[in-house]
Structure 1
């Protein structure tokens, strides 16, 4: 594989756009804005972040910090911190993977995570403090507003029980490779329909299986667990709909319902982008 910056940036932008192209109930997409943002916000943030995610030879922490600063400067809100945290190690891995495909990428990713340095932790901490998403760094011992005293993987492991993005660093991106990528592949056979597609399948796989970390931070664990059950029920019913027009209507109706309740499974969307990015890198 050993991809260069142009290919990595292209894969990153393609992943961000593909995620916006489907109706993800509760989350922002091209078919409906939400939570004070619209698709153009995320497109602008992705375009600003891409050169830093793809910077040749850059450390993971430098990619995270550069991309977060650029995104914040472009849109003035935390539009993609979770995406950036997930994309940076994948991009670093794509530079060194020994061949094309999922397994070489996964092997290179494990090596990239194992090779993280204190400098990487400093960059990631600074990015998280800038974006201020809550979650990681809220313990008294390891606040992201202070210089890191432990490695980035160790810090993420501490947050892994409450944040699915952090958990990826601790378990080698297992949810991306074992849930997201299979969900994308399983949906490939469906006819192409605007608003539907593999990215939606991955999103529902995550949102129906895990209480969303973003929702838990805003509304608490019980509300996140209740939403997970609703997402799982929707996904089961949605899978029985055979007409694309009916499926799109159902997704849009559930989307509007969740947005009225101000529920946004944003972490599920971040994991979806990471799954798409991993796929595009593996296929490049």
Structure 2
């Protein structure tokens, strides 16, 4: 007898899993980011807890298009905390949330979501980006999000930004980093016997040391982002998360924050990895 085909998840489940992923990311010690061990960059954990709570309903709205989910989440967040705490998270998680409603394998549903973007998705996503105004956004020669009249197709705009932004690239390559960096790192951490929050730290470090962080690149340039990636690999080489190396990680956390370096994209991908893993598990799929 063949296994039952995965079925779609109800909105309440998607919302609960999203909140849980956001909170789990905050519990983990992630050098350079805001977390339960230390604030940073003029933000505190409470801002992110509130953001997760208020953005969950629009993110999980039944039948809503991706753009509506992103825009609704950003607007709810600004109404509650008055700043951008989760644009990257929403951009990564909204397609996953929409795909989770569908039956069949989640990867296939995610491909269908990407193929189904329409002009309203672009308008809403660009409006959300303008509202959030992420640091170092700048302007693009083509498909600039600040142009409220000539709105390009969403995938075309993401393809334009992909070489300099890994979240944009996720829209063009099927969210490959989640499947090829995040989920394998999470599985390896569990195989090693790590428990949360150290499994989450392992995911974050996989992104931090594996690829240059787009948030750092936007604010400080691609060369600095690559230097941080290399430095993180050297400083954290051989670290054993099973020993709960809080002080060693906090030392590097202070170094990054004192330099004004926030690997925010690594944190966004960490949340999305936890969310994707939880969706797969809830649907009875293996990650």
TM superposition score normalised by structure 1: 0.92
Q: Deviations over 1:80-137 (max 9, x none)?
A: 0000001100000000031xxxxx1111101101111011000000000000115667
Query: What is the CA–CA distance in structure 1 between the aligned matches of 2:108 and 2:74, rounded to whole Å?
Result: 26
Q: Does the alignment pair 1:36 with 2:48?
A: no
Distance in 2 between residues matched to 1:158 and 1:67, nearest whole Å: 24
- Rounded to whole Å, the distance in 1 between the matches of 2:155 and 2:92 is 12
* Correspondence 1:184 to 2:182: no
Structure 2 partner of 1:270: 268
Does the Cα contact within 8 Å between 1:22 and 1:29 map onto a contact in 2? yes
113-122 or 197-206, larger mean C-alpha shift:
197-206
Matched-pair contact (CA < 8 Å) for 1:62–1:123: yes
Q: CA deviation at 1:221?
A: 1.4
Answer yes or no: is 1:257 the counterpart of 2:264: no
Q: Is the 8 A contact 2:204 2:270 kept in 1?
A: yes
Q: Partners in 2 of 1:135 and 1:117 — Cα distance?
A: 27
Match of residue 167 from structure 2? 165
Equivalent residues, number? 275
Distance 2:259 2:199 in 1: 26
Match of 1:14? 20
Q: Is the 8 A contact 1:27 1:266 kept in 2?
A: yes
Q: Which residue of 1 aligns with 2:243?
A: 244
Q: Find the aligned partners of 2:237 and 2:54 in 1 and give their Cα distance.
A: 37
Q: 1:21 to 1:251 in 2, by over 3 A?
A: same
- Matches of 1:106 and 1:178 in 2, distance apart? 13
1:149: Cα distance to partner? Answer: 3.5
Q: Secondary structure of the equivalent of 1:128?
A: helix
Distance 1:242 1:40 in 2: 26
- 2:128 corresponds in structure 1 to 127
Can you list the C-alpha shifts for 1:43-74, whole angstroms capped at 9, x where unaligned?
11111100000000000010010001001111
Note the aligned Cα RMSD (angstroms): 1.6
What TM-score do the two structures reach when normalised by structure 2?
0.91
- Most deviating of 147-156 and 172-181: 147-156
Q: Structure 1: which 5+ runs fail to align?
A: 99-103
2:71 equivalent to 1:73: no
Write the distance in 2 (CA, Å) between the matches of 1:134 and 1:33: 18
Distance 2:25 2:106 in 1: 21
Decide whether aligned partners of structure 1 residues 137 and 4 sit closer, same or farther in structure 2, where only a CA change above 3 A counts: farther
Q: What stretches of structure 2 of length at least 5 have no aligned partner?
A: 1-6, 283-287
